[in-house]
Structure 1
């Protein structure tokens, strides 16, 4: 066997023992051992293998070899759902604080939590993960003076963020996914030098005025899988580099005139799997979109502005209630693709599509009855 192994995958078996020579003198980048019955990991696995990532979730580990904590190449370890002893959990916490390793472990009240109330960074380019339950994020709880590539505050039970909690923090990628946030309050992310903001999988119903504001480097916002009913004008402002906005799987019902005014030119907007049945005639005015996703909504028509000469390259309107198609659509020269499957298009609209000399892709199914 070659001495260099990129991926070794033996997950989902009934392995209960690993021989100490199994990976001796091998270079293994990624080892997948999740969902087995492993109780013991030999020292040699980390002494010789130079592993970069390992998955050991859903096993029966109580202890970890000392070589695990001394491994210099390790960047990621998934240890979820193992009966790790208290002293091992504490050692893992220290490892997370003192290295760049991302370690996933379970939260156990009184065991896996630690009393640190200030999350600090004093070294550029690190990934910081917080594991303890955190119902509220307040001013003074963060001290990101050095550049942090990723701050991962995921699945912490976070209910609220106090405006100012991120003041003067130096974070490039902020992940607040799978928490219990309901509102983004005014000034929450103001002046934060983020490039990527992920709020996926919360309970967000509203974003207050200037909730996401004055972020000159922001490139992407992900608000998918929340409960947002409406995007209010003024809730997201002064984001000159924003070119990706995702709000799929929300409760959006309409798009007002200035709902998307915060997007830059050449952007991608994903609003699929909502309940949108109304779009203001000027909602897309002055927007230049590479991709617009509106599939799985309740639209019966779309604004004429969408088919203006330079509005959009590709638009997905699948699974709506469209019956008619605007003549402007057929004159749109710059449109590269429109997706119309699973709409109750009239026979006239279908024949118009079928007979047109399109210079773009038009995806639809011609009904047999037509």
Structure 2
């Protein structure tokens, strides 16, 4: 027996999607046969009030609607009684307005895609009491989200409002909203009212992944970012210059903070300490100072990325009490690794110290370390290597390429006898066990 589904394609020819007097459209119906769509009926110049009459009798099985052409307004009740609709695609058809009630009494959606239109506001009551997995509204002209625009919106795995013209987020816009990934990047947001995220709840165990990338934030305001449900906070490519103790105190379940591409100069103690954070991403800032206790008491920490900054000194007190780590300090200005410099580096960690200016490593730098997953010292200024430095350290991958070290008489392995892989530029081959 054929599995019936239906796509309805509207070619509106500058007519509204649905209006009080009907509207001109082309409605194309399909059967879903052998994993492909089979066209069964085309009705031209049809009234969009008569969708059910224009398609086969079992149009009640309609799963997908696609609107093409030009339609400036989506009217109230325009999708009424399509009881099994799960996917709605209204992309690049010049929609300027969605009337509240357009999606009233509709069932559970998989996708509503309203991207690449000319929407300039989302009115109160537009997305109310809906269950939708993916809601896309990127690349519109939205500058205003009214209070109650998103209310009782549940089971949203992804809500996308990227590439619009938002300047602020007000309290009450997102009321009782359950969401996973929430994308607000590439707007002009500089202001968020206190409580804007207070009524939002996580879709899954990973929490709300809130991305505010490429906006105009100058600081992290703890009174604004006050939401137990936020698991990831993405603030890359903003204008943040200062981190302050307590900035993240109202995000108790935060596990990932992304601050790439800001103007941060210093990482003080008290920003991250004692939190549940696993990933700290600070690349491409202008950081020259990281306080000695900045990463203390971080029992969940797994990944720290400080690449492309201006750090000159390695502090042996960093990372005390952390578990196994991936630590990236590539492309900084480190010159020396001090005595017992890695004494607080957890066993089985990976260290990326490539593309620095390291000329000297203390003979006791690796004291206490017995196993590393990786040690990358590529592209530094090392001219000598003490063969005793790593004699007691088991390493999977050790990279000394692009330094000034000559190939030792005993071969690369003599520099790290317990390494699985040793790379030295002056040696003709990579030595492996």
* TM-score, normalisation: structure 1: 0.71
Residue 184 of structure 1: how far off its partner (Å) = 1.0
* 2:188 maps to which of 130, 133, 136: 133
Are 1:107 and 2:161 an aligned pair?
no
The alpha carbon displacement at 1:87 in A equals 5.5
The separation in 2 between residues aligned to 1:282 and 1:127, in whole angstroms, is: 42
Q: Is the 8 A contact 1:24 1:49 kept in 2?
A: no
**TM-aligned CA deviation for residue 254 of structure 1:** 1.6
Q: Distance in 1 between matches of 2:218 and 2:197?
A: 17
For residue 316 of structure 2, the aligned residue among 257, 261, 280 is 257
CA distance in 2, matches of 1:55, 1:315: 51
SS in structure 2 of the partner of residue 343 of structure 1: coil
**CA deviations over 1:272-312 (Å, ceiling 9, x no partner):** 12222233323311321421111111111334333644252
Alignment of 1:127-276 (within 5 A): 127-130=181-184, 133-136=188-191, 139-144=194-199, 146-147=201-202, 149-150=207-208, 151-167=210-226, 169-190=228-249, 192-193=251-252, 194-215=254-275, 217-258=276-317, 260-262=318-320, 264-276=322-334
Shift of 1:177: 1.9
Shift of 1:78: 8.6
Q: What runs of 5+ residues in structure 2 fail to find an aligned partner?
A: 4-25, 38-67, 72-77, 127-136, 138-144, 429-433
Deviation (angstroms), 1:179: 1.3
Question: 5+ residue gaps in structure 1?
Answer: 4-17, 29-37
- Residue 286 of structure 1 corresponds to which residue in structure 2? 344
- Number of aligned positions between the proteins: 334
- Please state how far the C-alpha of 1:156 moved relative to its aligned partner: 2.0
Normalising to structure 2: TM-score of the pair?
0.62
CA RMSD of aligned residues (A): 4.4
**Distance apart, 1:338 and its partner CA:** 0.5
Alignment partner, residue 379 of structure 2: 319
Query: Which residue does the alignment assign to 2:170?
Result: 116
**Structure 1, 169-178 or 352-361: larger mean CA deviation:** 352-361
The corresponding residue for 1:13 is none
Partners of 2:379 and 2:351 in 1: how far apart? 14
Q: CA distance change for structure 1 residues 49 and 203 in 2, over 3 Å: closer, same or farther?
A: farther
Deviation of 1:159 after TM superposition, in Å, equals 0.7
Cα distance in 1, alignment partners of residues 329 and 90 from structure 2: 34
Q: Is the 8 A contact 1:63 1:88 kept in 2?
A: no
CA distance in 1, matches of 2:32, 2:407: 68
Over alpha carbons, which structure has the higher Rg? 2
Q: Which has the higher strand share?
A: 2
Rate the CA distance shift 1:363–1:47 in 2: closer, same or farther, 3 A: farther
Farther off after superposition, 91-100 or 217-226 = 91-100
The equivalent residue for 2:424 is 364
* Structure 1 stretch displaced more, 331-340 or 92-101: 92-101
Report deviation, 1:208.
3.1
| Residues 1:353 and 2:415 aligned together | no
